[in-house]
Amino acid sequence: MKILMLNYEFPPIGGGAANANLYLLKQYAGKEDLQIDVLTSDQKPGFVKENFADNITIHKVGIHKKHLHFWRRTEVIEWLIKAGPVYKKLIKENDYELAHAFFGFPTGWLSYQNAKKLPYIISLRGSDVPGDNARLQLDYKILGPIFKAIWNKASGLVACSEGLKKRAMKFMPYMNIDVIPNGVELENYYPSNEIRETKDELRLITSGRLSATKRVDMLIEAVEILRKSGYKIHFTIAGDGSLGDSLKQLISQKKLDSCIEMSGRVEPANMPDLYRASDIYISATMQEGMSNSMLEALACGLPVVTTYCEGVEELITDTGIVTKHAHADLLADAIGTLADNRDMLQQMSIAARQRAEMFNWQSAAEKYINYYKSILVKNEES
């Protein structure tokens, strides 16, 4: 098979979907029966062609990128304008059988415009499905009809969690949507060998883009409540984004500088050690596809305390606590419950790793290969 992948973000640019694309490529590298070209973005203007593996080539269309983990609308438009001709050129010069677009928009727009020349499938990732994303409400209203047109013309739609599928079905109830969950690199993300003993200080961590959707301010408020209740807390915020400066100001205003550390962007290779140095992963994210960060934390043996978001049905069972509502006091109560019951925390830690072992990129890659084949057969029959 010869596949053209499209993703407007690819490491170091982007978040979960960028990493998912990378991990799938690692699984496909060296497969003699599979040839893949990837069209993505780069941080600076220009065009870069990279050999990822003998059977995988990455084509990077550079733009004026200001932040690695935050996309301005002007950047999205710039990438679409510049990537469009490259996409057409790749189709003209290669005999692809199928296009695989990560995100229905903006990436899927290129596939939609060229659907007569090359059929495509879409991996729905989260922000590209209308929902509660605080920053994208206007975009959803304006682009909703375009989203529907892109989805309708696709040969297949894949969500990365059952929760995301449910959200997508609310947007377009008559669509047939399959689910292929995210995975985690279990060989790199694993629990600490050190026995988790009772400690005076509880170590909390969250990671991801510092955006309004992540509601990190709510986590800071929960830590403030815990501190006022007498708990000794150290909270690490790993990641950067548009709200970085305002969150620093909030921490300073609440006089929590001594117990909250903003580490900024952390290199992926260093994240496993950061998880292993923590006790609990906490989140107040408004929406997700399936959180890669939660999966990584679970693989490192961390229980998760979170507000509801898509993907928690698959991930959080006896592995953590999902609050009934998105309130700082409920998050603080849940964290306090684990702080007061270290046996429960230890049991959840063991269950967390066991749960994570159900999700791996090899399985996800195989499911996508089978999905490609089924779509090709269906297209031949129609």
Tell me if 11 sits within 8 A of 151, measured CB to CB.
no
Report the share of the chain in percent with pLDDT over 70. 97
| 3-state class (DSSP) for residue 231 | coil
Which residue is associated with the tokens 């510049």?
Answer: 82
Confidence of residue 193 (pLDDT cuts 50, 70, 90): confident
pLDDT at 38: 97
Average pLDDT (182-188) is 92
Q: What is the pLDDT of residues 162-173, one digit of tens each?
A: 889 998 999 999
DSSP strand pairing (280-283 vs 201-207): parallel
pLDDT at 208: 86
Confidence of residue 312 (pLDDT cuts 50, 70, 90): confident
CATH class of 201-356: alpha beta
Closest of 335, 319, 339, 318 to residue 327, by C-alpha: 335
Q: What is the pLDDT of residues 321-374, one digit of tens each?
A: 999 899 999 999 999 999 999 899 999 999 999 999 999 999 999 999 999 999
Based on its alpha-carbon atoms, the radius of gyration of the chain, rounded to whole angstroms, reads 21
Query: Going along the chain, which residue ranges are E strands?
Result: 2-6, 35-42, 46-53, 56-62, 98-102, 120-124, 156-159, 177-179, 201-207, 232-238, 260-264, 280-283, 304-306, 320-322
| 3-state class (DSSP) for residue 322 | strand
Report the share of the chain in percent with pLDDT over 90. 74
Neighbours of 347 (CB within 10 A): 14
Confidence of residue 139 (pLDDT cuts 50, 70, 90): confident
Give the DSSP letter of residue 67.
B
C-alpha 96/C-alpha 93 separation (Å) is 9
pLDDT at 295: 94
| 3-state class (DSSP) for residue 252 | helix
C-alpha 269/C-alpha 189 separation (Å) is 10
- The mean pLDDT of the chain is 91
The ranges of the chain annotated as CATH 3.40.50.2000 are 2-183+360-381, 201-356
Cβ neighbors of 211 (< 8 A, separation 6 or more) are 70, 135, 241, 242, 243
Least confident of 81-90, 214-223, 259-268, 294-303: 259-268
Q: What is the largest CA-CA distance in the chain?
A: 67
Q: What is the pLDDT of residues 88-104, one digit of tens each?
A: 999 999 999 999 999 99
pLDDT at 66: 87
CATH class of 2-183+360-381: alpha beta
The count of C-alpha atoms lying within 13 angstroms of the C-alpha of 65, restricted to the half-sphere facing its C-beta, is: 23
Q: What is the pLDDT of residues 30-82, one digit of tens each?
A: 999 999 999 999 999 999 999 999 999 999 999 999 888 778 889 999 999 99
pLDDT at 328: 96
pLDDT at 71: 85
Confidence (pTM): 0.85
Confidence of residue 382 (pLDDT cuts 50, 70, 90): low
pLDDT at 197 over 60: no
pLDDT at 144: 84
